[in-house]
Structure 1
Amino acid sequence: MRHLLAAVLLTFLSVFAQPVAAQQAGRLIAAEPMADAPPGVQAWRVRYWTTNGSGARFAVTGIVAAPMEAIPPRPRRVIAWTHGAWGVAEKCAPSLSSNFFTASAGMDAVRNGYVVVAPDYIGLGNATMHPFLVGQDTANAVLDGVRAAREIPGAAAGSSFAVWGESQGGHAALWTATATRSYAPDLTLVATAAAAPPTDLAANLREGSDKNARALLLSFALHSWSTLYGFSMDGVANRANQGIITRLAQNNCVSLNAKPKLGTILGILTIVRATKNKDIAKIEPFGTFARANSVDAARVPGPLLIAQSRNDTIVAPSVTRKFAKAVCRRGTGLHWIDMSGDHGNSARESAVATLAWIDARFNGAAPPNDCRRI
């Protein structure tokens, strides 16, 4: 135990003894080569500095991957891969998972010559509450991850990037697109791709047809927001059920291939019943906060791609389509990919088409516009 405490203390001192300039948002703290990267890929587990929407500074984690090739004469193109919901507990960080590469469709882009930057976001893999679906906090972590990757010599990452994400990561991608110009003017956003993105948060938490998934995601959101901002859950659930919401969020990471434990199943069923007729859009302060962190169609720049399955039971297709129509009304053209698979495979099902679309944007081709058929 003493050795463990000493190691933790040394880590703390090594981070916070750095000069203030070295702690600026976007600065790399460490890049540890990964021995278990796929063939043809070099990868690093990284730590870097970011800030939340209030300007507070955090040391966060992620993975950067690049082709296992000689450093090219020009900087490599970059894709920021924004992951879907893995949970809100520290242990749920994608970079800690042995299944990271197989579960992350965005890593396929390395084979196309890209550097892929995959941030964990704030609070996953680091000791603070994860700001689940909090737009600006997440966008900052993504943009600072792209900045930090440029400090890894072997990655040879450039300043031009695309952002691509699924589910929660689709929300992150759209928020990153809206924030790039103001938060990271040193970076150039080339394209934004979002697969099954939550856009109107209250509507998504209300209209997804899988009530069990809705209950778990609602638990993530309620626990995250109440912990970070002191919001009372009294208007949503009684004290006993609030305890169940907290335990569901603290103890569960999302795993598409694992069966949930009996306690998790019972907890989810309890929250399904407890929130059956509850709409957080009408429960303050959650309603106002959900609206503030929904995606404003008027602020999302093009070129833009949205991929959505008509059979998605978690992100309601009607909500995504409504958002896409709002984007089109604002005069921003978008490419729409219509799919038929399940939610968990949204990015994988659309990966080939999405990567081809991103390639074309980097190559300067005119983007397609599907607004007339949405």
Structure 2
Amino acid sequence: MMSILRKTLVAFLAVFVALILSIVAFLAYSAWKSHSLQSSLDAFYATPEEFSEIPGTLLRLEPLGVDVANARAYRLLYVTQDQRGRAAVAAGMAFIPDKKSDTPRPVVAYIAGTTGQGDACAPSRATDPVSGVIHFLPEAIAQGWAVVAPDEYGVGTEGIELYLFKDQEVRDTVNSIRALQSIPGASAGNDFAVYGFSQGGHTALWTGHLSEQFAPELNLVGVAAAAPAANLTSIIDRQWDSVVGWGIGVDVVRSWSVAYPDLPTDTLLTDSARNNYERMAQGCILGSFIEGTIRHKLFRQDFFLENPVNNPLWAQVLIDQTPMPYPAELPLMLIQGTADQIVLAGPNADLQVSWCAAGSTINALWLGGVDHTSVPAIAGPSVAGWIAGRFAGLKAPNTCAVPPPWSLITVK
């Protein structure tokens, strides 16, 4: 009997060790592959020694290196501005339909969700750069639209990303559109829509408020926001002591300590957070959530020492970075999964109610039982159809008479 048990144990250990070695080998190969890719891209993303300070100037352009049906796909480097209004560089992707247009093309700016602040985290530097936009892109190309997908300043390029910082987000967005217009054969016009997911939803919502300030020549026809990080006070208040505190807190603290030098950070962080947030923020979001989950679940380590909402300086910044309701003439499509555990459905249900009460025109699409990461794949075709109506000048649908599905929302 002991002999059988011993053989079973040895066999189990052998399988376990083989599994661990396979995982280590896979991770090592992935790291090597990523390092090789990033090294080959460094020259393109490097800040030129001299460049035009005119916002939106296209500095570099090259093929993205992936096939997109019926379209040309590019990687672009362009001039934007930092928080002080100084010339800086940012990067992104552009997609131009193969079919020529006799009139200026409508433009859609697609803004991805949180990626992390390391160079390899930039969507345009990813191994599969179109993975985030692929569920929307085919419909957009079929409609004849030009699409630009900025990475955000400091992600993949020189500088520190100003995460969830409205002015920087909108500057990068409108300047990427200007750069797109300079691409030979793009025929991109001034009419545009913006579609953002998660953090990109925050960018999209603020683009509705600030695009005219930063790019008065552009004409915004509508905003689509999927699972947007909108009401920052509510989001932080509900999740500051959860795994999300680790997953997103590292980016918030690294960015806001630059954007707001007087904002207290160290006094609000646990020792574990204080010792690790810089390193974690410069990795990618998946790694932050994995490490954060281990720290939170296994070692009982929180990120924040106390709720930042209770600090007056933090409370004011959260209010300042939370978008207010739109006027009725600027339509919004709001998409939210009821089972979202990252950007909770409750705050966006509150947004729908409060914005509708303020007179905003909202077309809300509630996705029953859908979690955070599944939203873009499901929402893409519906968003494309809604945007087509805005470019066509049709009256925007308004679902304000239909309340949010409170009974289906998993976490309020």
**TM-score class, shorter:** 0.7 to 0.9
C-alpha root-mean-square deviation of aligned residues, in Å? 2.7
User: 2:137 & 2:333 partners in 1: Cα distance?
Assistant: 18
Partner deviation per Cα, 1:174-201 (whole Å, 9 max, x = no partner): 0111111221110011111000111111
User: 1:10 & 1:235 partners in 2: Cα distance?
Assistant: 36
1:82–1:165 Cα contact (<8 Å) kept: yes
Q: Bigger CA drift: 58-67 or 110-119? A: 110-119
Residues 86/8 of structure 1: CA separation in 2 closer, same or farther (3 Å cut): closer
Among candidates 307, 313, 322, match of residue 279 of structure 1: 307
**TM-score, with structure 1 as normaliser:** 0.88
Among candidates 109, 112, 132, match of residue 83 of structure 1: 112
Structure 2 match to 1:289? 317
2:170–2:210 Cα contact (<8 Å) kept: yes
Please give the residue correspondences for 1:41-80 in structure 2 after superposition, counting only pairs within 5 Å: 41-69=71-99, 71-80=100-109
| Aligned partner of residue 194 in structure 1, secondary structure | strand
User: 2:312 & 2:298 partners in 1: Cα distance?
Assistant: 22
Structure 2 match to 1:330? 358
| Aligned partner of residue 288 in structure 1, secondary structure | helix
User: 2:161 & 2:288 partners in 1: Cα distance?
Assistant: 24
1:29–1:47 Cα contact (<8 Å) kept: yes
Structure 1 match to 2:347? 319
Structure 1 match to 2:5? none
Among candidates 281, 294, 307, match of residue 266 of structure 1: 294
Identity %: 25
Please give the residue correspondences for 1:1-374 in structure 2 after superposition, counting only pairs within 5 Å: 12=47, 15-18=48-51, 22-69=52-99, 71-104=100-133, 105-108=135-138, 109-208=140-239, 211-230=242-261, 231-251=263-283, 253-255=284-286, 265-269=293-297, 273-275=301-303, 278-298=306-326, 302-340=330-368, 341-374=370-403
The CA deviation at 1:9 is: 12
2:241–2:302 Cα contact (<8 Å) kept: no
User: 1:266 & 1:301 partners in 2: Cα distance?
Assistant: 47
The CA deviation at 1:23 is: 2.0
AA paired with 2:216? P
User: 1:10 & 1:152 partners in 2: Cα distance?
Assistant: 17
AA paired with 1:31? L
User: 1:235 & 1:11 partners in 2: Cα distance?
Assistant: 35
**TM-score, with structure 2 as normaliser:** 0.80
The number of equivalent residue pairs is 359
1:66–1:110 Cα contact (<8 Å) kept: yes
Q: Which runs of 5+ in 2 are unaligned?
A: 1-38, 404-412
Residues 91/372 of structure 1: CA separation in 2 closer, same or farther (3 Å cut): same
The CA deviation at 1:276 is: 6.7
User: 1:350 & 1:210 partners in 2: Cα distance?
Assistant: 30
Residues 215/199 of structure 1: CA separation in 2 closer, same or farther (3 Å cut): same
User: 1:29 & 1:66 partners in 2: Cα distance?
Assistant: 18
2:192–2:221 Cα contact (<8 Å) kept: yes
Residues 269/58 of structure 1: CA separation in 2 closer, same or farther (3 Å cut): farther
Partner deviation per Cα, 1:72-113 (whole Å, 9 max, x = no partner): 111211100011011123331111012221222343322332
2:235–2:344 Cα contact (<8 Å) kept: yes
| Aligned partner of residue 297 in structure 1, secondary structure | coil
Structure 1 match to 2:25? none
Q: Which runs of 5+ in 1 are unaligned?
A: none
Between structure 1 and structure 2, the one with the greater Rg is: 2
User: 2:338 & 2:277 partners in 1: Cα distance?
Assistant: 30
User: 2:77 & 2:44 partners in 1: Cα distance?
Assistant: 17
User: 2:292 & 2:366 partners in 1: Cα distance?
Assistant: 33
